[in-house]
Structure 1
């Protein structure tokens, strides 16, 4: 049975590459009644999504032109039923910023098994999604593929529009 999730917050470091893309993909896949937002722990506030992220999003039929970076706040975390982060350090930082969010903060790749660890995702917490910001187009494409795969694993748990 899907969880009773109405508000999802997706976090990455700068709210520049990974979280804007994940936000757009989740919005497209989920019922319009589920609010999806994104922010960054060290956001590039008011900056547009990375050019390569915008290009990849456009290939997927998504428009990130209006996206502007937003800094996470305790209020954004508090107002979210589910917080999805890209790596374990971000999970720890999010929980340190808002301790009562523990139990609602997960890796976006939570349901993916860790490389070299078989299907032991429950014990390891799944896969991290590397930041492509210092990499070229291939790093961005790889992050995009990981984000898409991770989102597919969440959809059955989040009441998708088309089950």
Structure 2
């Protein structure tokens, strides 16, 4: 990633990306600075347990803004459980007057189109090339489309952060 305006926004943001394992998250300050990241596995899967863990992260990091996926776009393949979880997170943020933003898969693809990255895997490749700290977490390309590997949620969370930094400047 070459120098661009998105690097000038240094708002500390927490991105949360629910998936089939639980959720991936990234705490970033600037488009290329990952402060913390991870995948929280929830077993057995429970939105109630996910919300408890997400509230802990928000309390721990006290971000200036939380970023979530806007699942209403055409490219979103979220199941009903994950859609409800995102609605619940949004309601919690609103009720607690925590700034948040929603970005669709289409918006992420538009941002990463600059680097000719269209698929989730290609987007993860761009992220790894530009944020060396994440290189050790990279994974082989899934054999089947829409296959969820463990660390995909983390890279999806980082892509949401980058999308925010790019589109909010």
TM-score bracket for the superposition, by shorter chain length: 0.3 to 0.5
TM-score, scaled relative to structure 1: 0.37
- Which of the pair is proportionally richer in strand? 2
Q: Which has the higher contact order (CA 8 A, sep 6+)?
A: 2
TM-score, scaled relative to structure 2: 0.36
- Which of the pair is proportionally richer in helix? 2
